[in-house]
Structure 1
Amino acid sequence: MSLPEEVAEAVSVAAERAGLSVSAWVTRAAAHSARVEAGLAAVTEWEREHGAITAADLSRAAAVLADADAQMFGGVDEERIAG
């Protein structure tokens, strides 16, 4: 695999910051990108079958996720995060 020099340098710095080898960092980045692409494809397929996702759908999903987070992690201290 070859990368432009400036990209290779940025990857090297990012890998070092993360405490990873360049190979491990690139593997992690590629896996993340593949998951994002798969998610986007799944949304496209779902919308083809059911229609466009609405703001109300997103709001309901956010509420479900917030509830799941609260159950899993005991809630979030909003003041601590903002502070």
Structure 2
Amino acid sequence: MEVDTLGGDVAGHKDADGRGRLLEGLDDLLLGHEEPEANDTETYDNGVKVVPSYLLESDIVYADNIQPLLVDSGYYTTEQVESGQS
């Protein structure tokens, strides 16, 4: 995967943005043992019902914030960022 895609690593549960925490207990959710956590129960109305959602805050990555957002967080190593590969 190229670094510029920054599309989360579900298998590795990289958690620079909180997605890893949401994946914890996913098996129970998929088996119907629990209701999924939601932090927005008003925004997404599909015409039949309001769909509960969990909205994550996002960060836009620029050259001047790569270090704190991607490297310091452990999402990528300096070498991966410098080479453009993960």
- TM-score scaled by length of structure 1: 0.25
| Bigger proportion of residues as helix | 1
The structure with the larger Rg is 1
